[in-house]
Every structure is written in C-alpha cells, then in structure tokens.
Amino acid sequence: MHNFTSNDLLLYVLNEANSDTIMAIEKAMKSNHQIKQEIKSLQLTVDEINHFEMQPNDKIMDFIMEDLFEAERNIVIV
C-alpha cells in the first residue's frame, strides 16, 4: 500500500499529479475509504475556494478614496 501525502492528494484534486500518482490514488480509493473521503473533502474545499468572492473592507476603500481626492485637491491648474 502506498502512503500518500496531503500534497499528493491535493495535486490529484487539482489535476496536477503525474500519471503514476493518479493511477495509484485511483486504485487506493477503490479499497481505502479514508483516502476516498479525503479526496472528497479536498474537492469540496477547492470548489468552495473557486466560488469565493473577496469584498474590500469599507474602511480601506474610504481611506483609498480619501487619499485620491486629497491628491486631486492639491493639483493646481495654471
């Protein structure tokens, strides 16, 4: 039996594993429920990350906008 690292399993989920590792993991999933569950969990996590949208913090946006307007107020047109 092969001992897979978390990195091996993550590479498998991301379709980045080499063909030997892919075959070994798929063979192991047929008989090892723990590996199958770990793959399922990693896939759910990756799917969740792929659908995650970041939202800027309001205070940070206010600071940025204030800084932009401050720079604009200092411009002198001659």
Q: Per residue of the chain (78 residues), give pLDDT as tens.
A: 578 999 999 999 999 999 999 999 999 999 999 999 999 999 999 999 888 777 888 888 888 888 777 766 666 666
pLDDT at 74: 65
pLDDT at 52: 79
Per-residue CA distances from 4 to 46, 53, 61 (Å): 19, 31, 44
Range of the domain at 12: 6-73
Q: Judge whether 78 lies within some domain.
A: no
What is d(CA 57, CA 45) in angstroms, rounded to the nearest whole number? Answer: 24
Q: Judge whether 64 lies within some domain.
A: yes
Q: Judge whether 19 lies within some domain.
A: yes
* Counted domains in the chain: 1
Q: Judge whether 1 lies within some domain.
A: no
Q: Judge whether 25 lies within some domain.
A: yes
Cβ(42)–Cβ(15) below 8 Å: no
Cβ(28)–Cβ(2) below 8 Å: yes
